[in-house]
Every structure is written in C-alpha cells, then in structure tokens.
Structure 1
Amino acid sequence: MKPFFLPAFLLLSLSVQAADWPTFRGADRKDISSETGLLKKWPASGPKQVWLNKDVGLGYAGFAVVGDTVYTLGARDVVEYVIAVDAATGKEKWAAEAGALLTNGWGDGPRSSPTVDGDKVYAMGGKGTLVCLNAADGKEIWRTTMDSLGGKVPGWGYCESPLVDGNLVIVTPGGAQGTLAAFDKATGKKVWQSAEWTDPAQYSSIIAVDHNGARQLIQLTMQSVAGVNAADGKLLWKTEFPGKTAVIPTPLFQDGQVFVAAGYGVGCKSFKIKAGNEIEELYASTDMVNHHGGMVLVEGHLYGYSDKAGWTCLDFKTGAVKWAEKKLLGKGAIHSADGMLYLLEEKTGTVVLIEANPKGWEEHGRFTLQPQTTQRNPKGMIWVHPVVSGGKLYLRDQELLFSFDVSGK
C-alpha cells in the first residue's frame, strides 16, 4: 500500500478552516472564534502574557493568524509594510512593502487587517494600494491601486480588509466606475466592477453570503447598503442608509436578515432580503449607535458599544434592548469566543471578559494593557480589535503587539 500524503496547500487550507483567523472578523466575518476550552475566568492580574513585540510599526491595523504566523501591517518611517510575526515567539519573520505612508490627524499608517488565503496574503495600504504576497516569505506576486479603479482615498484612509471569496479578491475602491471591484486572486487581473452602484468608499469591510440562489456581497457606504452578485458584480438590491462623517462597522447577516449600524448619532437599521431580493425594513433606531468597535451576534442577541447607552445587548430579530451598561467600562471594541465577550476600552486599554448573556453584564476578569505606546498621536486611542486564535488573545497599541494565553490549559 502506498503511503498517503496530503499536499502542502491542502494541509494549509484545512488548517485555515479548522481554527485559524484568516482575515478581519474571521473567515465568516462574524467576529466569533470557533475555539473552545478557553479560560472562563481570569486571574486578578489578567491572563499570562506570552510575548510582546515592540516593533510592528505605527498604525491601527489588525491581525490575521494562520498556522504559526501572525500577519499585520505597520508603518516604519514613510513606508507601510505587511509584517509577519512568529505566533510562538513574537519574533519577526519578514516585512514587505505595502505602499506609501498614509498621513492623518488621528495617527499615520495603515488601518486594515491582512487576509490570508492558502499560501498568499492580501493587504490594503492606507492610501489604497492592494498587494498580493507569498505568505511564506513576503515576496510580491502582484499589486494594484484603488485610484486606478476610479477610487478616492477617504478622509481617514482606506480601512477595509480585502475579502477573498472563491477565485476572487474583492475590495471597495468606490467612485463612478463602481463601488466594488473584484480581481483574479492569482493574477491581479480585474474581473468586474459594480458599475450599477457608484457610492464612494467608506470604511466597512465586505461580507459574502449565500441567499436567494446567489453568492451575495454585502457592503455599507455613507449613502446605502447593497448586495451585488459575486459572479459578475451586478446589483441585486440596495436600500438607503444615510451616514454622517464616517460609516465603519461591518454588516451582520443571519437567515436573510441584515443589520447595519454607524456612529455620529446615526444608529442602526435592520431589514429582510425577501424572495426576488425585495427589501423589507424590520426596524431602525438609535439603540445601537456603533462607531467603530464592531458588533457580534451570539445566539440571537447582538452585542456592542452604543454611543447612546454604552455596552448594549439587543434582540437581533426585533431590535429590543435587553440591557445596557455604561458605568463599568467605556467605549471600545468587541470580540467573541467560547460563549464569552472580550471587550477593549479604547481610552485606557482596559480589557474585560464577560459572558455573552442577554440577562445582563456578568464580568469574569479584567486587566489593563501595559506597557502602552508613547508614539500614538494625541488624538488616537487603542482602536485595534481584539482577536483570539490558537488559544492566544492578540492585542495591539501602535508598534506594540501582545500575545496572552487564554487557552485554559
């Protein structure tokens, strides 16, 4: 009998599906880790720090974690880099140029998370350069720019994380040539651009869902939320969602229902995509005024920070408020794993573990991130979203990248 070997690329693919965190908010962009057996209560001092890398560059870029590597972006001098770090030791493996430095009054540098697909990494620089690199060594495969697609750099820079879906990598250049654009992920050749939808780019990241017999790409702008066909970029449906200043959170989808939210007093809206892609509004309110910390949907309940009432739990189907808590922790970002919520306060770097419980706030530990950067812009805060992967909690404050053991082992 011949020995049975799996090809290396298949092993990597299986690994990504099993437990890794290949892109912003995870493979399904729901921001819920599939890991189990994690700590349900933290020691008084917080979980054990595994390592600290003090040189991943400036900016607000998040992480992709695949196999034994953490991928992020960071600015060094006047260049933005994609940076690969050993997940076990925190030591840098390689750095590759992503594009010129985005300068901004709230802090310079990149804002997105890389996306890992098989043996490739896709990353968006702050000025809108999209690069494809070898995951193993950072060697460049291809690159393109959002301005070549008619896009204009939004006020706070390009912040979305590229979506890889099938053979395509899809991004949001925005503008008259089309809001969304898809490329052959292997060659970088443009496959389509959504000419029927021409809103300028904002800061949200695309989600992909199977609904009404099609693969739908759902994205949010300052004017609307819409779905396009992943096969050809044709507009399937669109509904108004007027934003103010900046529209940032990633849409949520479950059982044909979409939920979107924005800050600056805008609030939230939820609707059903019915047969024939007809849109039926379910509710709209200011009970979830989510700025940029994101939201998660756990067992029918939506959690996130609302500028109106603080940390808030809503019934997803109806929009009814189940509870709100503002005194115990200030504004920040959220992540979910193993039935728990990981909350990060943006001003202080306080990290809190609570249950994902619609009955109320049940806290199971907290600690404050230390040390904190001395290089952050005075207007900037700790805005990088937490990620749990491989039993580790990853946090970042500018050039400082932390790994904490939350595995429960």
Structure 2
Amino acid sequence: MTKFFAAFLISSVAFAAEDWPRWRGPNSDGRWNPQDIPADFARKEPVRLWKKDISAGFGGVTKSGNRVYVMDRLKTPREVERILCFDAESGREIWQQSWDVSYGGMDYATGPRSSVNITDGRAYALGATGVALCLDAETGQVIWQVDTVKTFGAKIPTWGFAASPVIDDTRVLLHVGAKAGSVIALEKSTGKELWRGGPDPAGYCTPEIIQHASTRQLIAWGPENIQSLDPDSGRVNWLYPYKITYGVSIAQPLYHDGILLISGYWHGAKALQLGKSPSLLWENQKDICGLMSAPLFKDGVVYMLDKTRGLRAFELKTGKILWSDDNKLTPKNSNPQMSLVWMQESSNLAALLNADGELVYVTLKPDKREELGRWQIIGKTWAHPAFAGNRIFARSDKELSAWQLW
C-alpha cells in the first residue's frame, strides 16, 4: 500500500466519522464508524449540549464542519419552507433562508421531507413542493433557485417530494418526476438543466449510484418501475416493473454482490440479479415488507425493518429469514420507522433512533440481535439524525438538539 493511499484511507475514515453531510451519511449508506468508542459507551448517559426550537418537518439532519443543517416549515405569518444553519458546538443560529410555498391538500402536510446535501461549500435542498435550491453553505446566500413544478413540469406526489438531492460530479440529481423524466439532472453550479431520464412519476426514494460490472448506474425507484439510468446522460439502461400501491416507493434499495434488493410496504421484497438486464432471484410478498427505513448489510445478511414484525435479518442471496425482533426496537404501529446505522461495523455494532425518539445501541448478527443500551433523546420523530464523531444531532417537529454520547 502506498503512503498516499494509506493517507487517503485515514483521511476518509476521519471524514466519515466527523461529518454527516448528506442523506444517510458521507456515502449515503448508513455507515458511521466513529473512532475511539469507549468500552462502556452503552452505559454512558448522553449529555445534551444544546437544544433549539424549530418548526415541523420530516427531513433529516446533516452536518459539515462546524455547521448543522435542517429544513422546516412555518405556517404564519406566511407559509414558507426554510433551511436553518446552526453552529455545531453552541447551537447558535448562523443563518436561515426561506421561500414561499403552498402545501394545499398534501397528505402528512407537516414540512419538508428531504435532507440538505452539503458538497464543496454549497448546500443543495429540495422542498416538499418541488423548489430546489443551491446556497452558499457558509452564508446562506442563494446561488440559484428553481421551481421544478413550474419550470420542468414536475408533478407533486401525494405526500410531497421526499428524495434528497444527489450530487454526482458536476450534476445535482433530483427525483421529481418531471415531464419526460423521472430524474432530472441540473448543472450544480448554475441550476441549468442537463438531462432528464426514466419514465416514472416521482416516488419518495432518494436515488443512488451503484457500480456493477465496472459500470456506474443510477438506481431510481419509482411507483411503477425500478429504473437504471446512465448518470452521465440519463439514458435508460433497463426497467424492471414493480407497480406499488399508493405509489409508496420509499425505502432506499440495497445493492451488494451483484444483487439489488427492493422492498415495499404493500408488495414485499424483490431481489434482482443484475446483468445486461435484471432477473428475479427471489421475492417475498408477505414476510419481508419494508416501508421507510433503509436497511443495513454485512456478510451476506440484510437487517431491515418489516412493517409488522420489527427488525428482521435475512440472507440477501436466498431471502431466508434468520430472526425477527418482535417490535422491540421501535414501536409497533401502521407506519413503523427507525433510522439505523453501523456504529462499529467490524464488531456488528449498530445504533438507531426509533420513532419514539430513543437512541438504541444494538449488536446485529446472523443468529441474534442484542440490545446494549437505550436512551431518550428527543420526542417522536421519523427524521434521520446526523451521527458525527461522538455526537448525534436529532430533530422532531419542535426542536433540534445535539447530544454528546461519550
């Protein structure tokens, strides 16, 4: 291993542990892996560093450098969505930026659903009604702003736009179901349209870029198809039909070992073997049904929240169910939710924030799961927190708070 490559790996690990700049972390895959976790971490009660009042929203928290970002919605004196930026150490508000919206008859009309993406000193955001923005991450100054509904013919889905912006090279990718394009690529510096791709309307799932057989593919799960697009041009590589009741394509697909796993609330899980065109490897329409929570993977095993049975472990290649936690880690209801990350992947240690606002430490293994500690840190929430260093930044519909974990 060259000294340069070793230094790159060390810096990458440090970045991954200290920052959470986009949806599901530095690589959008739910890996946290902080350094120097003490042996007694699970017995250490988290210490709240600060709390700030904010308004409602489902969008996750992101952190880059010494700043924390979150979106919310105000109803009075006029209806607006906002991006709020706070100092990570003190909680002092540094800036806020707002824009007018009208949620109208949107279901679950609480607030924004997506996370702010911080890349190269810019903050990229997508509101529930389709307003996309690029801001200076330091000052909050608007660099460009576009209404994707008015400009590109995007159609607001029943529960509003929920997919977080994805940055790919010089492009920002938005899953908004624009006219003649499920995903639209904008030049990230100007907001100028570059391409549109895919036939589906907007779903609720953040697109992801995978590398399969030396080829980069943009996976965009819509309400009618699982779509593979060329991220450089928007050209459709392949489509796999998967029509979803009520259009609830939400949970992020999982790709490993040439297999793409998709799981929906109403029609269950499908595992696709990828090749020139995908083929169905297995499916389970009753016993593996995800909703919002993105799964984790290690050593051939998937850990995913099922709609009725709680967290389940099953083999990716076969779909064989290994165990279920019987709804012990997050409350059982019609819309179960938890935000699950690898805390120390090498030791099978995971952390989660459940729908009751409890931080739970747990080990996940093919034969069992073991709860190690549980702490109440915030009120009820579906929003993904930011895990950064030895801290967690979590939000509810009323507050944003920072906690030191050890």
* TM-score bucket of the superposed structures, by smaller chain: 0.7 to 0.9
Alignment partners' CA distance in 1, 2:351 and 2:100: 32
Aligned length: 380
Alignment partners' CA distance in 1, 2:353 and 2:56: 19
Alignment partners' CA distance in 2, 1:353 and 1:150: 44
* Secondary structure of residue in 1 paired with 2:176: coil
Change (3 A) 1:403 1:209: same
Describe how 1:163-312 pairs up with structure 2 within 5 A: 163-194=166-197, 197-245=198-246, 246-263=248-265, 265-274=266-275, 277-285=276-284, 286-312=286-312
CA RMSD of aligned residues (A): 2.2
Change (3 A) 1:134 1:118: same
Change (3 A) 1:46 1:304: farther
Which letter does structure 1 place at the counterpart of 2:131?
Answer: T
Q: How far did 1:344 drift?
A: 2.9
Match of 2:352 among 343, 348, 356: 343
* Secondary structure of residue in 2 paired with 1:179: strand
Question: Corresponding residue for 1:73?
Answer: 71
Q: How far did 1:213 drift?
A: 3.8
* Secondary structure of residue in 1 paired with 2:182: coil
CA contact (8 A) 1:293 1:385 kept: no
Gaps of 5+ in 2: 1-10
Give CA deviations for 1:64-116 in whole Å, capped at 9, x if unaligned: 21111111111123111111111111221110125515354424211100001
Question: Corresponding residue for 2:120?
Answer: 118
- TM-score, normalisation: structure 1: 0.87
Q: How far did 1:342 drift?
A: 2.2
Change (3 A) 1:20 1:44: closer
Which letter does structure 2 place at the counterpart of 1:151?
Answer: A
Identical positions, percent: 25
CA contact (8 A) 1:15 1:67 kept: no
- TM-score, normalisation: structure 2: 0.87
Give CA deviations for 1:341-382 in whole Å, capped at 9, x if unaligned: 223332x32332111222212011112235x3xxxxxxxx51
Give CA deviations for 1:46-74 in whole Å, capped at 9, x if unaligned: 4222221223x211111221111111111
Alignment partners' CA distance in 1, 2:364 and 2:126: 32
Gaps of 5+ in 1: 1-11, 373-380
Question: Corresponding residue for 2:361?
Answer: 353
Alignment partners' CA distance in 2, 1:251 and 1:216: 13
Q: How far did 1:36 drift?
A: 3.0
Q: How far did 1:207 drift?
A: 0.3
Which letter does structure 2 place at the counterpart of 1:266?
Answer: H
Alignment partners' CA distance in 2, 1:80 and 1:400: 16
Give CA deviations for 1:140-183 in whole Å, capped at 9, x if unaligned: 00011221222111111101100001111001121541111101
Q: How far did 1:204 drift?
A: 0.2
CA contact (8 A) 1:149 1:177 kept: no
Q: How far did 1:13 drift?
A: 10
Alignment partners' CA distance in 2, 1:185 and 1:254: 29
CA contact (8 A) 2:107 2:158 kept: no
Describe how 1:77-88 pairs up with structure 2 within 5 A: 77=75, 78-88=79-89
Change (3 A) 1:270 1:327: closer
Which letter does structure 2 place at the counterpart of 1:120?
Answer: R
Q: How far did 1:215 drift?
A: 2.2
Q: How far did 1:201 drift?
A: 0.2
The question of 1:367 aligning with 2:391 is answered: no
CA contact (8 A) 1:70 1:87 kept: yes
CA contact (8 A) 1:268 1:284 kept: yes
Alignment partners' CA distance in 2, 1:314 and 1:98: 44
Question: Corresponding residue for 1:63?
Answer: 61
Alignment partners' CA distance in 1, 2:212 and 2:377: 41
Question: Corresponding residue for 1:150?
Answer: 153
Alignment partners' CA distance in 1, 2:282 and 2:17: 36
Change (3 A) 1:135 1:327: closer
Which letter does structure 1 place at the counterpart of 2:354?
Answer: E
Q: How far did 1:310 drift?
A: 1.3
The question of 1:23 aligning with 2:29 is answered: no
Which letter does structure 2 place at the counterpart of 1:317?
Answer: K
Question: Corresponding residue for 1:333?
Answer: 338
Alignment partners' CA distance in 2, 1:13 and 1:99: 38
Change (3 A) 1:187 1:268: same
CA contact (8 A) 1:98 1:123 kept: no
Q: How far did 1:28 drift?
A: 2.2
Give CA deviations for 1:101-144 in whole Å, capped at 9, x if unaligned: 53544242111000011110100011001000000000000011
Describe how 1:28-43 pairs up with structure 2 within 5 A: 28-38=27-37, 42=41
Alignment partners' CA distance in 1, 2:384 and 2:13: 25
CA contact (8 A) 1:304 1:334 kept: no
Question: Corresponding residue for 1:378?
Answer: none
CA contact (8 A) 1:99 1:125 kept: no
